[in-house]
Chains A and B, each alone.
Chain A
Amino acid sequence: MEDLGRLIKTHPFFADLAPDHLQLVVGCATNRRLGAGQMLFQEGASADHFFLLREGRVALELNVPQRGPFVFETIDDDEVLGWSWLMPPYRWHFDARAITPLRYFAFDAKCLRGKMEADHELGYALMQHFLPVIVDRLQATRVRMLDLFGATPGAGPGHV
């Protein structure tokens, strides 16, 4: 457990988490691996974990009928994956597939939600860590929705 705590502390997402909170979080964590091409989770399934990637790349994708899987975002090493565990109905909205072999920490959602409910300071600290990631990805998604690279006016320098 001590080694796991030390490893998790080296991940950028939890690098500044207070020691007592880190200890609580580590109690819900496991160190895992996954092979390339394997699914980390699937749409509709219970969002019973979130993940800190140590190494590798994950594709977030939707299966589009008659078109196949459509990758709309990738998550890389040193990043966090998954926030559906924070809000009911605690179900994944998309599929997550390992593009490359993965090394990651998995955090048991039920375990952590229980600790957050019992210790609101821990809950607040975790929300402070998750919210900037959520906002950053929301803002990036908004910009990408503009389809800036499409063939529309303002889509690129007029001098090229």
Chain B
Amino acid sequence: MSEAPGACAPPLLPEAWTLRSRRDDTADTFTLVLERDGGTAFRFAPGQFNMLYAPGVGEMAISISGDPADGTTLTHTIRAVGAGTRALRQRVPGTQIGLRGPFGTGWPMARAVERHVVLVAGGIGLAPLRPAVLALAAAAEARAAAGLTTALYCGARTPADLLYADELAAWARLPGFSVRVTVDQAGADWQGSVGLVTGLMKALPGDPARTLAMTCGPEVMMRVVATRLVTLGLDESSIHLSAERNMKCAVGSCGHCQYGPLFVCRDGPVLPYPRLAPLLRVREI
């Protein structure tokens, strides 16, 4: 499983990519599949992000949510929350989008290979975790044969806000995989769980010394998840979070994403919990 590659083109110069398809996932979330002009391969590590440029509107940092083994297309699942993301949603297949990347640190996939893995996603936070899940899914049989498990816990606002519902069901059928989903609120027709995602986390899947956790979602959720994992016996150094800050240059120059001593675009977004924990408790940063 690959480590984080850096941007291959000049890092501040967007490259034109062609939008191959666009799909609405939920009421406010959509997925773009992009193809590089000329078909040159693009390599990234799960957890990394790209800067996507909506022509004439602006540029924004978007995590890569596609399969890291697919070197020909790039997939981004995006929540339409501002002018830039709404403009991206309105792009039609065949048109071009500017792209810089990949940037930042990835999930610790090399360490994950030989460990039980716990993945905890909240809302759109499942998108940056999806490449890690896909990489683990590709290795599911070998991992299961080695006695290794993969536990994915997902929280969403409502059942209609759940991302990748079909894939969640497919992943749950993989050897060694378990997938648990919960929502904050639901109607009487929902047969699944309702509650905070930590309510699903009753125990670690195996020996804590051989377990690794990755979590992505709202910062408060990640703090609660990390606390739960530690309570269940996981060492803090085995927990990895994807940090959230407003990124602009993506190369650690502009300072927009500075978080204490860290530049999230360069030192993150994926960071070990012991590095982030002292900062998460500081209101002023």
Contact = CB atoms under 8 A, between A and B. Distances in A.
**Are A and B part of the same complex?**
yes
A146 B244 CA distance: 17
Nearest to A146: B220
Q: Size class of A's contact patch?
A: 20 to 34
A151 B79 contact: yes
Contacts of B185: 70-72
Contacts of B168: none
B218 A71 contact: no
A157 interface: yes
A140 B157 contact: no
B125 A156 contact: yes
Nearest to B184: A144
A76 B191 CA distance: 12
A114 interface: no
A148 B219 CA distance: 9
A76 B188 contact: no
A160 interface: yes
Contacts of A68: 187-188
Interface in B175-201: 182, 184-188, 190-196, 198-199
Nearest to A63: B188
B125 A59 contact: no
Classify the secondary structure of B's interface with A. mixed
A159 B81 contact: no
Interface in A122-150: 140, 143-144, 146-150
A63 to B, nearest CB: 9
A61 interface: yes
Interface string B22-39: 000000100000000000
B194 A159 contact: no
8 contacts: A71-B194, A76-B193, A144-B196, A151-B81, A158-B61, A159-B63, A160-B65, A160-B127
Interface of A: 57, 59-61, 68-74, 76, 78, 97, 99-100, 140, 143-144, 146-151, 154-160
Given A71-B187, A144-B195, A156-B244, 14 more contacts: A71-B186, A74-B194, A140-B199, A143-B220, A149-B123, A149-B155, A149-B161, A154-B218, A156-B124, A156-B217, A157-B125, A157-B216, A158-B245, A159-B63
